[in-house]
């Protein structure tokens, strides 16, 4: 689970054993001061390429995976330029 703030896209904040616990924490964390969203990602430790988005929350509400359309990133970020 990681959070996004107006001036920062955070690294992994905490790892949970269950998806349900991660989503519950992210939902609550998305309500915190200066947090614009909280995201849950599923992955297998020590296996590259296994990272997949699960859910993201804003103000305690789960957002649709299609919220921004297929051409946009799943997770909102402050960065808008091309990545090299």
pTM, two decimals, is: 0.73
pLDDT score for 55: 96
Residue 7 has pLDDT above 70, yes or no: yes
pLDDT, average across residues 3-8? 91
Q: Which of 75, 73, 79 is nearest to 2 (CA)?
A: 75
Burial class of residue 30, CB neighbours in 10 A (0-12, 13-18, 19+): buried
Taking the alpha carbons at both ends of the chain, their separation in whole angstroms is 25
Q: Which of 47, 44, 40, 36 is nearest to 9 (CA)?
A: 36
Domain map (residue ranges) of the chain = 2-62
**Residues 20-49: tens digit of each pLDDT:** 999 999 999 999 999 999 999 999 989 999
3-class DSSP state of 52: strand
17: which 2 tokens? 């054993």
């Amino acid at each position: 689970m990681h959070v996004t703030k107006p001036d920062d896209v955070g690294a992994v904040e905490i790892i949970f054993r269950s998806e349900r616990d991660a989503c519950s924490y992210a939902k609550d964390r998305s309500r915190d001061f200066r947090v614009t969203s909280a995201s849950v990602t599923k992955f297998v430790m020590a296996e590259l390429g296994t990272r997949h988005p699960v859910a993201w929350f804003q103000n305690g509400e789960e957002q649709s995976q299609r919220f921004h359309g297929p051409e946009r990133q799943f997770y909102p970020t402050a960065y808008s330029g091309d990545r090299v």
